[in-house]
Amino acid sequence: MYLKHVPSGIEVKCQREHSREINRFLARRELCDLYEHKVLGRPLLLRLTKEDKIRKRKQRKARRQRAEGEKPSTES
């Protein structure tokens, strides 16, 4: 999905899903966020996708496991 806001010249492309309606919704949301950031000066919102959330969760779990494995044992 390709959307362009003509007055500001902001362009957005979105191909995250197979569904055109979902891609259109996501592109509009991203276009609104970019417009608010560039034109109105509001901070840019970072929206995490489901895959990003899962990836972060796995990274945290791996870090925790590495940290537990590196701890010196207090047993004698």
pLDDT digits (tens, 9 = 90+) for 12-52: 998 888 899 999 998 999 999 899 888 888 887 777 677 77
pTM for this predicted structure: 0.57
> Which residue's entry shows tokens 């902001």?
10
**Alpha-carbon dihedral 39, 44, 47, 51, rounded to 10 degrees:** 110
Comparing 7-11, 48-52, 54-58, the range with the smallest average pLDDT is: 48-52
Give the residue among 33, 25, 26 at the shortest CA–CA distance from 8.
Answer: 33
Do the bridges between strand 10-13 and strand 2-5 make them parallel or antiparallel, or are there none, so unpaired? antiparallel
For 1, other C-beta atoms within 10 Å of its C-beta total: 19
